Amino acid sequence: MEVNFILTEKKSKTFSYEYEDYEDGTKGAHTMIEDILADPDFPNLTELVIGDWGEAWDGDCQSIIDGIIKNADRFSHIERLFMGDMDYECCEVSWIMQGNYSELWAAMPQLKALTIKGASDLELGKICHENLEELTIICGGLPEDVLMSIQEAHLPNLKKLLLYVGVEGYGFDGDEERIRTFLEKSNFPKLTYLGLTDSEIQDEIVEVVFDSKYISQIHTLDLSMGSLTDKGGALLLEKIPSYTNIQALDLHYHYMSDEMTKKLEALNSQHLAVDVSEQEKAYTSSYDGTVYYTPMLTE
């Protein structure tokens, strides 16, 4: 088992199996909790990161989730949880088989941050949590039922929401009007970081965000990793100066022109940090001339 112990403000450890660990079937999601609980560092951790549990494209992490729930008292010191921290060499994000988190909310009332990578078979259920401050979903396409769970969530202390919207071909089955509804009907009174990223409708999301109730309360607007072009850039250039509450604008990985990039870059000041790094070039099909703007993370 590969482990990574990080001593910072929080004590964090990554639990992840190498191929040699699980190739014969003796290790896997079904043994992960046992190995975590037996680790001498575990009682002193505040952050738990679950990496590759072995052939994540063929087996979900439900036994890990269930093990945390079953041993909730022994996990009561864990304030930050990342489930599925693996790169494409282990498993493509769209292939990661997730699980059902419906009972995790009650089992971990102390949890402050939850990050989930992968949305295949992901179920969040009815979300009700008084203390969660950060929720991040990393995926190639955000399913409707997952978005609905977050929309209806009771998260009175949520400060950071980061959602990879993704593309239709990998699970996102909505449009800009669905995002608009989500922003209208969700209720996160303490939200200060709003991230709607990695989308093939990034220009449209810009417009929707500026029509939302959150635009006047957030200090960070993250619209990165998507198909943002000069259309969305022009709207940002027009609107952002009016919202002095916004201190950081993350647009890294985009398809804006040099001219638009420089205009947005010029907004950088002691009150506003703008990230327009990673300028991408659209792909034009030699077959029919179709121009493709691809988000950073899909498959």
Domain contains 137: no
DSSP 3-state assignment of 298? coil
Specify whether 6 is located in the same domain as 80: yes
Burial of 115 (0-12, 13-18, 19+ CB in 10 A): middle
Whether 115 and 6 map to the same domain: the answer is yes
Report the C-alpha gap between 236 and 249 in whole angstroms.
Answer: 9
- The boundaries of the domain holding residue 41 are 1-123
**pLDDT tens-digit series, residues 50-101:** 999 988 888 899 999 999 999 999 999 999 999 999 998 888 999 999 999 9
The CATH number linked to 218 is: 3.80.10.10
Residues 114 and 196 in one domain: no
Judge whether 211 lies within some domain: yes
Whether residue 116 is found in the same domain as residue 161: no
What confidence tens digit (pLDDT) does each residue in 143-187 have? 999 999 999 999 999 999 999 999 988 989 889 999 999 999 999
Output the pTM of the full model.
0.94
Considering the domain boundaries, does residue 109 fall inside one? yes
Count of domains observed in the chain: 2
Indicate if 109 and 157 belong to the same structural domain. Answer: no
| 8-state DSSP, 209 | H
Residue 49 shares a structural domain with residue 164:
no
Q: Are 157 and 299 in a shared domain?
A: yes
Domain assignment of residue 40, yes or no: yes
Q: Name the residue with tokens 């607007």.
A: 221
For the segment 25-44, what is each residue's pLDDT rounded down to a tens digit? 788 899 999 999 999 999 99
Contacts of 164 (CB under 8 A, 6+ apart): 137, 138, 139, 140, 142, 197, 198, 225, 297
Residue 75 domain flag:
yes
pLDDT score, position 1: 58
Decide: 223 and 232 in contact? Cβ < 8 Å.
Answer: yes
